Amino acid sequence: MSATAAGGVDGIVSSVEDGVLTVRMAVPDKRNALDQAAQERLVAVLESAALDDSLRAVHLTGEGDHFCAGADWVAANAGGGKPRPAHVVRRLPLQSHRIVELLLTIQLPVVATVRGTAAGLGCQLALAADFALAADDATFWEPFVLRGFTPDSGSTWLLPRLIGLARARRMLLLGERVSGTQAAEWGLIHAAVPAGELDAAAGALLDTLRTGPTVALGLAKQQLVRSLEAPLSRALTDEAYAMELAVRTEDFREGLAAFAARRDPTFTGR
């Protein structure tokens, strides 16, 4: 396997290998907490990925012992002075909220691998991925109210849909910490494995996704997110339009040929 691109700045390191974009949050001395510049960089990387036809999957991970401890509020308040009114309302949609939105809507499958802490924004980054794999001793934590402010980065949308209102209240209103094992049992994440097996499990899943029918996967992902807010009639209409696009792909024709020949398909993502 050979890397085809790499780059890193502002706490985010990205590289591409065999069609998989790996995005690594790289501020290990702060448990990969993301300051404003890192959040802006992550938005730029994901927006670029959305337009890159050579990509087949995205892998989101953290450098060192932790996934992401959330937004770096210490850095955000280090400059002194009081920001203008509506500072939060102006910035969040373009920074942390935009990252979560991109992870949910980019038409590429996203896998997050979680070690150590996934807190606040970091927790939402994992949950917005299509598949979150965690070490069984990882920690998912929503500390917002424990710090005196309200949840953000899509937590009040993601958690009830993934684990129901009762468990969402435990995490968001009581600040209850959830282990990787418990998160998997709740259905909060895809799976939890021993820490030493995490890389292998992620690699196997990414191999499956990067060799899949990329267009069909992206369209199916889009329909799943849209269906959460749509009546049945809208979901059926959206499925019809998605099917119209999918049947025009080379991968659709390969899938039919493989089925007829009773062999495994070889998808190219086209």
pLDDT in tens, 97-113: 999 999 999 999 999 99
Q: Do residues 87 and 158 share a domain?
A: yes
Residues 104 and 226 placed together within one structural domain of the fold: no
Residue 27 is assigned to a structural domain of this protein: yes
The domain that holds 230 is classified in CATH as: 1.10.12
Q: State the DSSP code for 145.
A: G
pLDDT at 194 over 90: yes
The share of the chain scoring above pLDDT 90, in percent, equals 83
Burial status of residue 162 (CB atoms within 10 A of its CB: 0-12, 13-18, 19 or more): middle
Residue type, 258: A
Residues 200 and 238 in one domain: no
Last residue of a domain, one of 192, 210, 228: 210
**Do 16 and 82 fall into the same domain?**
yes
Cα three-residue angle 161-163-167, rounded to 5 degrees: 120
**Same structural domain, 183 and 248:** no
- Whether residues 194 and 221 share a domain: the answer is no
For residue 266, is it within any domain?
A: no
The tokens for 27 are: 């501020």
Q: Which of 210, 225, 243 is the last residue of a domain?
A: 210
pLDDT the model gives residue 113? 98
pLDDT of residue 127: 98
Within this chain, do residues 109 and 242 fall inside the same structural domain, yes or no? no
pTM of the predicted model over 0.85: yes
The domain spanning residue 148 has which CATH number? Answer: 3.90.226.10
Is residue 270 included in any domain, yes or no?
Answer: no
Q: Which two tokens stand for residue 59?
A: 């892998």
H-state helical runs in the chain: 36-50, 73-76, 87-91, 96-105, 121-128, 155-172, 180-186, 198-210, 214-227, 232-246, 250-261
- Same domain? 97 vs 9: yes
Q: Is residue 144, in this structure, part of any structural domain at all? A: yes
Q: In which band, very low, low, confident or very high, does the pLDDT at 42 lie, cut at 50, 70 and 90?
A: very high
Q: Which of 173, 194, 210 is the last residue of a domain?
A: 210
The domain in which residue 242 lies consists of: 214-261
206 lies in the same domain as 220? no
Residue 179 has pLDDT above 70, yes or no: yes
Q: What is the pLDDT of residue 45?
A: 96
pLDDT for res 50: 96
pLDDT, average across residues 176-194? 98
- Tell whether 268 is covered by a domain: no
59 and 167 assigned to the same domain: yes
Length of the chain: 270
The two structure tokens encoding residue 62: 């953290």
57 C-beta neighbours (distance < 10 Å), count? 27
Q: Is residue 134 within a helix (H) or strand (E), and if so which, with residue range?
A: strand 131-135
Same-domain status, 104 and 52: yes
Q: Are residues 203 and 230 in the same domain?
A: no
Domain tally for the chain?
2
| Residue 36 φ then ψ, to 5° | -60, -45
